[in-house]
Amino acid sequence: MRVLVTGGAGFIGANFVHWTRRHKPDVEITVLDALTYASDGSSLDGADVELVKGDVADAALVDRLVGASDLVVHFAAETHNDNSLADPSPFLQANVVGTFVLLEAVRKHGVPLHHVSTDEVYGDLELDDPARFTEDSPYDPSSPYSATKAASDLLVRAWVRSFGITATLSNCSNNYGPYQHVEKFIPRQITNVLDGSAPKLYGDGLNVRDWIHVDDHNSAVWTIVEKGRSGETYLIGADGEETNKTVVQAILRALGQGENAYEHVTDRAGHDRRYAIDSSKLRTELGWTPAYVDFASGLRATIDWYRENEAWWRPQKAATEQKYAATQTVLDPAATD
């Protein structure tokens, strides 16, 4: 099988490539990636792939690559909420236009597609609401990022219905693990502590995210590719709900620091309060189960990876913190704790 992985040098995509190489060594992999600040060709070291630098919105390039493939797995996206608030235009180009270009190519060549998306398309839940997102939850995106991902999901569904392409979709909860850019929440806190600075919490730190280790996410993607029904959406989650404050305290404890050695910073505009995934459909219909059944074990493995791979994340760190320093103000703890 020849698989084209768009965005395969980014966080989840690179881990998908490594997972595939470990579990499906006969698969031939081509990665298409724009190699922006959030992706890194070195994340694919040792994976034995063809890496093509290019834009998923480049119709001629995408047409050629899709035509030589048996399957497309579509990770390519602009994903950082803060950046989408500062400048939404790259998110429209990558997430909407790029997905359209890819859909036209798979339509032309008759190649099946798996489209990777996010639970953020559903908006957020109240902290005291026992409900979780399901495949039937209405879309209610809160940011330019989540709005463009919602648009891309709807495009895929429309191409299945209107043009008969073969495609499956997945919406996942928050991923964590190796090769994640230090602008993201968990690696930022880990690398802050490793650098001797305080982790940072938006607002009161009580926002809840539903965490899943990236390897579990990618095993679910392959399960959907192999067993899922065309046109269907499957939610991927591992029952990993934790407040941001709890995650930071766990990182501090694991690295030998006092669990309250963090700082509150000004909250992000439109910051969703809680995400929670109900992955019953994926588990009951397709028989998938996560390997990391508790968040703590996955977090320990992730901390160990960042501690052992400073050469990978160090070049990103200074510029990331400089950018945050321009937008975040440290708050008085008495106002939040």
User: Does residue 294 have an active-site annotation?
Assistant: no
User: Does residue 120 have an active-site annotation?
Assistant: yes
CA proximity to 4, closest of 76, 88, 59, 60: 76
Q: Which of 33, 40, 119, 183 is catalytic?
A: 119
Cα-flanking dihedrals φ and ψ of residue 4, to 5°?
-95, 125
Torsion of the alpha carbons at 54, 55, 56 and 59, rounded to the nearest 10: -90
User: Does residue 259 have an active-site annotation?
Assistant: no
Query: Inter-axis angle of helices 59-67 and 98-109, to 10 degrees?
Result: 40
Q: Which of 33, 55, 122, 145 is catalytic?
A: 145
Q: The tokens of 233 are what? A: 């959406």
Q: Which of 78, 120, 215, 321 is catalytic?
A: 120
Residues 94 and 98: their CA atoms lie apart, in Å, by 5
SS (H, E, C) the chain: CEEEEECCCCHHHHHHHHHHHHHCCCCEEEEEECCCCCCCHHHHCCCCCEEEECCCCCHHHHHHHHHCCCEEEECCCCCCHHHHHHCCHHHHHHHHHHHHHHHHHHHHHCCCEEEEEEHHHHCCCCCCCCCCECCCCCCCCCCHHHHHHHHHHHHHHHHHHHHCCCEEEEEECEEECCCCCCCCHHHHHHHHHHCCCCCEEECCCCCEEEEEEHHHHHHHHHHHHHHCCCCCEEEECCCCEEEHHHHHHHHHHHCCCCCCCCEEECCCCCCCCECCECCHHHHHHHCCCCCCCCHHHHHHHHHHHHHHCHHHHHHHHHHHHHHHHCCCCECCHHHCC
Active-site annotation, residues: 119-120, 145
